[in-house]
Each structure stands twice: as C-alpha cells, then as structure tokens.
Structure 1
Amino acid sequence: MPVPVSELGTFNHVPETKEQLDWADLVTVDLSVIGTPEGKKQQADILISAVREKGFFYVKNFGISQERVNRQFALGKKFYELPLEEKLKYVPQGLDEGKFNGYVPAGRRVIDEENNIRDKIEIYNIPKFNGDFRHDHPAVIEERLDEVEEFARALHTEVLDPLFVLLAVALELPEDFFTKIHQYQVKSEDHLRYMRYEKYPPEVNAKLKNWSYGHTDLGSFTLLFRQPVAALQIKYPSTNEWKWVKPQDATLTVNACDALQFLTGGYVKSTVHRVTVPPKDQQHVDRLGLLYFSRPHNDVPLNTIKESPVLQRAGYTENEFEQTGNPVPTVEQWTFAKQKWQRTKAGHLKKDWATAQILPGFNEKIYA
C-alpha cells in the first residue's frame, strides 16, 4: 500500500521590519516588455547599468506564481524541521574538498574570533535534473521531486534565459551567446538551495557584526526569492558603501557573479554582499532563504569574450588570469577550487584565509 505524502502546510512570511534602514536604490528589470526590439533594448540597458554600478537588481513579471514560490519555501521549512541526525545523512562525501550538493551543517565557520562565535547557517543544495547522476534526498523532498524539478527548470526558461538574452544584447553579442553556454541539459554546477540562518539569542546578536562575511558568488547569476527578514547587504562597486537590500513584493532579487566578471574582463562586476544582524524587531525568527545559483557549462573556459564590441571599445579585454599570464580555468576548475576554499572548516577573517589564492592568478579579498 503506498505511503501517503505528508502535507506541506501553508507558508507565511514574517512581517517586514519597521526600522528605517539605509536601503539600496536598485532598479527593476521587467520581463513583460522584452517581446519587442525596443523593450528588449530598454531592459538590456537597465540590466547592464545595474550589474556595473550596483551589482544587484530586481526582476518582475517572470511568469512563476507566488503560490509555486511559497510551496518551495514550505518545502524548505519542512526540511529544516527534520531532526539533525536525519539531515546529517545527506552531508556530501568530500565536503571539505569542495563538494556541495546535499546538506551542509551549521557551525563550520567562526564568524567572531574575539567571542569564538560560530555560524548558524544550514544549506541544502539540489543539483540540476539533467541525468548526470542520481542524488539521494530525504523523504520530504523525494516525494515532491517532480515538483522541485519543474520549479528549477522554470527558473531557467522563465528567468535566466531572458536575462542572458538581455546581457547579450547589452554587450552587442548574438542573443543566444549566453544561453548557449547555460543550457539546462548540459553538465554544470547549477543548484537550487534551501538555506536557513537560525536565530541567535539577543545577547549573542549584540556581540556580532555580521552573520556571514562579505563575499562574491562564483557563477553567473544568483536568484534570490523575496525574504522579508532584513539582513542582506550589498557593497556598491561604485562607492564601496554597504546598503541594505529591501524585499520587494512579486520580484526576484538577482546578482551578478564571478564567472560573468571573468567572461567580461571585469566589465560586469561580481557583487560583494553579506548577511548582517537583522533589525531588532526581526531577530526572534529564523531566516529562511530560497535561491538558485546559475553557472556556465563545466567545460567553458573563463576567457574574456573577444567578440563583444562593447568590451573592445571600453578596453575590457583581459581578466585576472589573462593579465598575469596564468592558465585560464574552466568553469569546473574554478567552481571546485573556490568551493574548497569556501567549505573549509578553518574559514575565518584571518588574512591567510581571507586573501588565499584560489587559483594562480586570483586571490580572494577581505570584504567585511
């Protein structure tokens, strides 16, 4: 007799903060108007300005209902309600070597040296459903895997593909330039993520500066669904100011990442961001995140794109690897080198870790 599927229940976001914060002034890309050449050019200009000046932007009218989004939040919440011993069954073998699909437990990183406070960040990553390999999941996810796959694939067709077309238009490249190297069925390290920042007691929050360090993401675009617990901050590349990112109804928050910075020779900026201590009226709740990380195909070399007239005119013709004469890595080589650095248990803000060499030609930087 089949085992009945457990109910997810409804998911309700907590109220937004009432505190007056220094919010980032971010633009919105509207995917509903890109059906005409004029609309496409207009939105391409908005996107390229955003990824050069602020790094983050909002996307609206992306064709995925709030009900479908809320079901994914509910699924993430259900996963994190599992006992720790159950979640630990899904820690990937080779986590310390950069493997990341599955469950990453909290407490692997010291975020406050003086008070020896460790992170309370839990991660569950689900890789692409493209037949590369079978990944085991706990029952709460396994029994809804078709729904998860449908959602992940929709993010590609409804959000990422249009954004890659707009980026190509902005760089005066063929419209399919970036979609060709971001095909869902081809091997890459994309993943859907349920992420929980467990709350700290007030006395611990009083000692902390941030819940996670300033960092950049390693892929192409990161998609972040609306999260009303204010904690995300970005560092404007144009002014180096830290600003809060305000949750906007019916939008995605998107940021550009390392791979696009390499591919454009630094023309597109990989956005520095961090998760800081939430305002006091939201410190009593856990912060649940729903994200998608997009990356080019594993075999794509991260050379600066030579075909873009925009990059040629602006003088962005070499990235860090090319400037130093070091071998240019493939996306796969870059991904696992940076993931290994990110996943180390010893990670903290000491200079020998925070400025470590990821690959010859590229060293990390301190962004705290």
Structure 2
Amino acid sequence: MPVPVPPLGSYQHVPETKENLDWAELVTVDLTNYDTPEGKQEAAKTLIKAIRDKGFFYVKGFDIPQEKVNRQFALGKQFYELPLEEKAKYTPEGLDEGKFNGYVPAGRRIVDPETGLRDNVEIYNIPKFNGDFPHNHPPIIQERLPEIEEFAKDLHSKVLDPLYTLLALALELPEDYFTKIHSYPVKSEDHFRYMKYNKRPLEENAKIKSWIRGHTDLGSFTLLFRQPVAALQIRDPLTDEWKWVKPQDATITVNSCDALSFLTGGYVRSTIHRVTIPPKDQQHVDRLGLLYFSRPHNHIQLNTITDSPVLQREGFTQNDFEKSGNPVPTMEDWTFKKQKWQRTRKTEPAYYTATIVPGYQEKIYDKDSAELQPVLRQLAQATVA
C-alpha cells in the first residue's frame, strides 16, 4: 500500500543576518511596466548595464505570488527530510559523466584536504516538462508534479521570456531573437532545482572557508529566489573583490552565464561567484535554495551573434572558440563537457585549469579556498621549477 504523502504545510524563512557585511551594489530590473513601450525600453537599458557591469542583478514586478514561491520552499524542505536511502534511489546513472537530473548526494568533493572533510551540499534537479525527459520522482515530488510544472513554466514565461526580450532590444535585435532559441517546447537542459546546504559546526566552517568555490554558470540566465541565509558572493569585475549578495524582498537574483557570454563575444558578462560560509549568527541553520537554470536549445551552436549592430559597433565579434580557431560547440556539447568536468572528483592541479572544450580553459577564481591550497602550492612549485 502506498505511503500517504504528508501535508505540505507552511514555510518560515529564518531571520536575516544582523552582521554588517560588504554588500554588492546591484541594480534592479523592474518588469512592472514591461507591457508599455517606454517601460520596456527603460528596463532594457537597466538590464544591459547590469549584465555589462556586474553580471548579477535583481528582478521584480513579475506575476508570481510569494505564496507559490513559499510552497516550493516547503516542498524542497520536505524532500530533504526524506531518509538518505530514499533520496539516493533517484541519483542518475552517469553522474560522473555529466548527468545531473535527479538527486546529487552530498560528500562527493573534498573541501579540506588536510582533514578529508567533504562537502555537505545536496541537489535535486527537475528537467523540463516538454516531453523530452522522463519524470521519475519520489512520491513527495510526484504527487505535486503538476504544481511544480506550473511554477517552472511561469518562471519561463513571466521572468525569462521578458528578460530575453529586453536583452534583444538592448542589442538592437528583433524582440524574439533570444526567446526563439530558449523556447520551452524545444529540447534544452533547463532545470528547476531544490538545493540544500546543510549546516556545519563552527570549527568545520573555520577550516573550509567556503562551501562552493568560485565558478561561472554554464547556461544563459540563472534564477535564484530570495532566501535570507547570506552566503552568495560575487567577485566584483571592476575590483576583483568578493562582495556579498543581499537578499531583497519580492525579487529574484539573476546572473548571466557562459552561453550568453559566448553568443555575444564576451559583451555579456558571466560573473564569477561562490557560496561562502554564512555569518556566525546564521551558521546554526540549513540554507535551502530554489533555483532555475535556463539554457539555449541543445542544437544551438554558440557562435558570436553577427546580426547585432551593438556588438558590431563595440567590436565584440568573436568568442574564445572563434579566436582560437577551434570548432564552436553546440550547447549540448558544452553543457555535458563542463558538467562532466564539474562532477569529476580530482585534486591534481591540471584538473582545476583543464581545457574543457578546445578553446576554453578553466581558471582558479578564489585563492583563499582551503580546497585549493594544496593545488596552488603545487602550481607555484611547478612555476619556480
């Protein structure tokens, strides 16, 4: 007999930190007047400045009630309360080869080489509801799948489509230029995510410095719903200083990613970010994240757009692949090559600066990470030798 799924209940966010942190100064793209020509043009100007200057911004004025957002947080919390053996049933085969839909358990990465301490981050990814992907989930998720599908599609139509339209306007392209290559019915590796950073003892946090090292996201836009545990930091592109991203009420934090940077020859910034240790007044609680990763269709080749008068005027006419003379990958190839690199559990220096696809080499972005200290020492010794 099936076990009944418990009621979802309400979700209470923890209080924000009282510490005075060095917050990043990010702009807000307001979609409130998106349906008017003047509002759309103003928002397009704000968006392009945001993704040129910082690569991170807030968006508000979208028609998704906070109650629906909180229900998704409650659902994520309920999923992570399942026993590990139940969650592990939904770990995808081929995780080390770049597969990512389903459950990714914690502990796959050593974050403190001296003690062997491993990461404490759990992930559950849900792919598109467009017929291209199987949906095999635990009962807690399966019974609420129609609600999750509606929420994911709302994110696409009410947040992402407007942002892609604004980006096209800012680049003097037809309004549907980016929406046509990010259409929901077409196969792409978009996914909705519940992500849990399990709390750690203070002494462990003191050793590891950060929970996820500096990186860039591989897609187009990443949406991160407000949750009050401060931990997200960006590396300011102008100063190279790490700045905290402040949770803002009734907003989604958005960052532009690798694919948009390739498509615009580097005009759109793919900003380096990390998840660091929360301030001390929040280290006693878990950090639950609610995210959506948007990516171009799998068959799209990541060539620099040649139709944009803006990119032509500004001289952004080639991306890294084109400059190097290497073949330009499709989005599918780029996704799984980078995802495989991310999933690989290696400690050799060559891994951290690997050539993922010919023409693109990874970099070390945060030199204060405990995880990277042995690697940095080896790299320094090799340079001296």
TM-score class, shorter-chain normalisation, is over 0.9
Task: Choose 199-208 or 219-228, whichever is displaced more.
Answer: 199-208
1:197-253, Cα deviation, whole Å (9 max, x unpaired):
001111111212111100000000000000100000001122211100000000000
Matched ranges for 1:296-311 at <5 A: 296-311=296-311
Structure 1 equivalent of residue 360 of structure 2: 362
Structure 2 equivalent of residue 110 of structure 1: 110
Query: 1:58 is paired with a residue of what secondary structure?
Result: strand
User: In structure 2, what residue type is equivalent to 1:361?
Assistant: G
Matched ranges for 1:1-368 at <5 A: 4-346=4-346, 348=347, 350-368=348-366
Matched residues, number: 366
Cα distance in 2 between the residues matched to 1:102 and 1:335:
16
Cα distance in 2 between the residues matched to 1:32 and 1:3:
44
Q: Contact (CA 8 Å) 2:5, 2:139: kept in 1 or not? A: no
Query: 1:207 is paired with a residue of what secondary structure?
Result: helix
Cα distance in 2 between the residues matched to 1:308 and 1:104:
39
Cα distance in 2 between the residues matched to 1:5 and 1:211:
32
Cα distance in 1 between the residues matched to 2:120 and 2:131:
33
Cα distance in 2 between the residues matched to 1:211 and 1:121:
8
Gaps of 5+ in 1: none
User: In structure 1, what residue type is equivalent to 2:361?
Assistant: N
Query: 1:196 is paired with a residue of what secondary structure?
Result: strand
Query: 2:312 is paired with a residue of what secondary structure?
Result: helix
User: In structure 1, what residue type is equivalent to 2:362?
Assistant: E
Query: 1:179 is paired with a residue of what secondary structure?
Result: coil
Q: Contact (CA 8 Å) 1:55, 1:236: kept in 2 or not? A: no
Query: 1:274 is paired with a residue of what secondary structure?
Result: strand
Q: Contact (CA 8 Å) 1:189, 1:298: kept in 2 or not? A: yes
User: In structure 2, what residue type is equivalent to 1:297?
Assistant: H
Q: Contact (CA 8 Å) 1:123, 1:195: kept in 2 or not? A: yes
Cα distance in 1 between the residues matched to 2:204 and 2:5:
39
User: In structure 2, what residue type is equivalent to 1:34?
Assistant: Y
Q: Contact (CA 8 Å) 1:211, 1:276: kept in 2 or not? A: yes
Cα distance in 2 between the residues matched to 1:165 and 1:49:
15
Cα distance in 1 between the residues matched to 2:344 and 2:10:
36
C-alpha displacement of 1:284: 0.2
Q: Contact (CA 8 Å) 2:127, 2:133: kept in 1 or not? A: no
Q: What is the percent sequence identity of the aligned residues?
A: 73
Taking structure 1 as the reference length, the TM-score comes to 0.98
1:263-311, Cα deviation, whole Å (9 max, x unpaired):
0000001011000000000000010000000000000000000000000
Cα distance in 1 between the residues matched to 2:199 and 2:126:
24
Cα distance in 1 between the residues matched to 2:206 and 2:299:
46
Taking structure 2 as the reference length, the TM-score comes to 0.93
Query: 1:266 is paired with a residue of what secondary structure?
Result: coil
Cα distance in 2 between the residues matched to 1:314 and 1:262:
15
Q: Contact (CA 8 Å) 1:31, 1:61: kept in 2 or not? A: yes
